[in-house]
């Protein structure tokens, strides 16, 4: 779907950074905000302390309310696709908690001096396509005029407390499963530089638009979960391991990768987030056994990436069979160990999980 046949617009050329690569550096954020005096009522079960994917509020009746928000600048050129990716990305935080999304509220910054207001229709059509597919509804929102196009959503979900997933429950012996391939960060940079092949871009778009809705998981226990977004696989895996007080061993050669991503990384098509993510994780992770392009894949900033799930080792085969239809590129990528000096070790693939 094109914006307007008479005047095609490349949204990615209107911003310096697109998608989750536009996030502020994680290490800088943590250092700057560490002394905030936060109110922590007893009903707030999950706040910012564990760096989980969403906030959790106990409704007191066996149900938890899950809240999140996410927004960013264009990562693709087509407004319908951008809207769909922005919605799928925001919904992902709800799915990462095991919850069901129920409402979404729009966050929009629009450069009215540069773009025709008619662009809003395909933008929101794309978003609604994903919101409706999730079973949620768009309940409202807020917009401002802004120099750069920004779109995102505040999403609310619910989950029975016995079915909720946090990032702090990984246990030694668990297997780690990643549901989507990596590489959106370098491919987005290649698109902006006119160095991406069209089928690479379309593959990335399809992956980013895919909702992280795993559906019912009968007879499978998920001990911990997080979604992989702008702070990269290395960053989010580190946060999950630290919250769980364990260590992760991840086989870098088992990682699912989007077509074209390794070619881009071999050509050193990087963005600032690759480097800030590396700085964020360097003291708590080790990837010395992996070749350089794979090292950059580990810190590649993902937009609407997959879920990283920690499940009992005896149940990983069952879960993989349940994921086969909707997440054909899901992989078992590693395992959980007792806490070591490093939170995450990426190894060379010789050791089998």
* Alpha carbon of residue 310 to chain centroid: 16
Q: Which residues contact 45 (CB under 8 A, 6 or more apart)?
A: 56, 57, 58, 64
For the chain (353 residues), the mean pLDDT of every run of 10, in chain order, is 52 66 68 77 84 90 97 93 97 97 97 93 98 98 95 98 96 98 96 94 97 94 97 97 97 96 97 94 93 95 97 97 96 98 88 42
Please, what is the end-to-end C-alpha distance for the chain in angstroms? 42
The confidence score (pLDDT) of residue 28 equals 76
Secondary structure string (H, E, C) spanning 167-215: CCCCCCCEEEEECCCECHHHHHHHHHCCCCCHHHHHHHHHHHHCCCCCC
Rg (CA), the chain: 19
The CB density around residue 118, as the number of other CB atoms within 10 Å, is: 11
- d(CA 103, CA 201) in angstroms, rounded, equals 30
Do 170 and 246 touch, CB atoms closer than 8 A? yes
The confidence score (pLDDT) of residue 27 equals 72
Long-range contacts of 191-199 (CB under 8 A, 24+ apart): 191/12, 191/76, 191/77, 192/12, 192/13, 192/18, 193/269, 195/264, 195/267, 195/269, 196/260, 196/264, 197/260, 199/259, 199/260
Q: For residue 224, which of 155, 273, 166 has the smallest C-alpha distance?
A: 166
The confidence score (pLDDT) of residue 5 equals 47
User: Residue 129 has which token pair?
Assistant: 């396509």
Per-residue pLDDT tens over the stretch 326-341: 999 999 999 999 999 9
- d(CA 277, CA 237) in angstroms, rounded, equals 12
The confidence score (pLDDT) of residue 22 equals 64
The CB density around residue 48, as the number of other CB atoms within 10 Å, is: 13
- d(CA 333, CA 339) in angstroms, rounded, equals 18
Q: How far is CA 291 from CA 196, 263, 280, 349, in A?
A: 22, 14, 20, 11
69, burial (CB in 10 Å: exposed 0-12, middle 13-18, buried 19+) = middle
Could you please report the per-residue DSSP string of 142-166? EEEE-SS-EEEEEEEEEEEGGG---
Do 223 and 325 touch, CB atoms closer than 8 A? no
The residues carrying an active-site annotation are: 20
Domains parsed from the chain with CATH numbers: 11-163 (3.30.1330.10), 174-347 (3.90.650.10)
The confidence score (pLDDT) of residue 1 equals 38
DSSP-H helix ranges across the chain: 26-33, 79-96, 120-134, 184-192, 198-209, 232-244, 261-266, 272-281, 292-298, 316-323
């Amino acid at each position: 779907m094109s914006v307007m046949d008479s005047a095609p617009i490349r949204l990615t050329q209107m911003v310096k950074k697109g998608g989750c690569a536009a996030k502020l550096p994680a290490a800088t954020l943590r250092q700057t905000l560490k002394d905030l005096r936060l109110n922590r009522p007893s009903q707030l079960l999950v706040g910012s302390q564990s760096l989980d994917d969403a906030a959790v509020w106990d409704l007191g009746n066996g149900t938890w309310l899950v809240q999140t928000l996410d927004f960013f600048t264009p990562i693709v050129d087509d407004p319908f696709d951008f809207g769909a990716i922005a919605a799928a990305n925001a919904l992902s935080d709800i799915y990462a908690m095991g919850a069901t999304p129920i409402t979404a509220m729009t966050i929009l910054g629009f450069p009215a001096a540069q773009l025709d207001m008619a662009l809003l229709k395909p933008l929101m059509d794309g978003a609604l396509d994903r919101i409706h597919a999730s079973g949620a509804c768009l309940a409202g929102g807020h917009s401002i005029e802004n120099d750069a196009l920004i779109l995102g959503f505040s999403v609310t979900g619910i989950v029975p407390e016995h079915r909720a997933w946090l990032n702090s429950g990984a246990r030694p012996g668990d297997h780690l499963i990643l549901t989507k391939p990596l590489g959106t960060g370098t491919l987005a940079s290649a698109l902006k530089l006119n160095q991406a092949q069209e089928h690479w871009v379309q593959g990335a778009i399809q992956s980013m638009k895919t909702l992280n809705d795993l559906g019912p998981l009968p007879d499978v226990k998920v001990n911990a979960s997080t979604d992989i977004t702008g702070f990269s696989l290395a960053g989010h895996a580190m946060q999950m391991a630290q919250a769980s007080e364990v260590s992760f061993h991840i086989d870098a050669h088992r990682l699912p990768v989007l077509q074209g991503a390794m070619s881009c990384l071999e050509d050193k098509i990087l963005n600032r987030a690759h480097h800030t993510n590396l700085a964020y994780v360097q003291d708590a992770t080790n990837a010395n056994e992996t070749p350089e392009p794979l090292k950059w894949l580990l810190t590649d900033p993902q937009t609407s990436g997959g879920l990283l799930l920690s499940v009992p080792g005896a149940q990983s085969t069952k879960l993989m069979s349940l994921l086969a239809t909707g997440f054909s590129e899901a992989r078992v990528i590693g395992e959980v160990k007792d806490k070591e000096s490093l939170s995450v070790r990426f190894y060379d693939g010789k050791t089998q999980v």
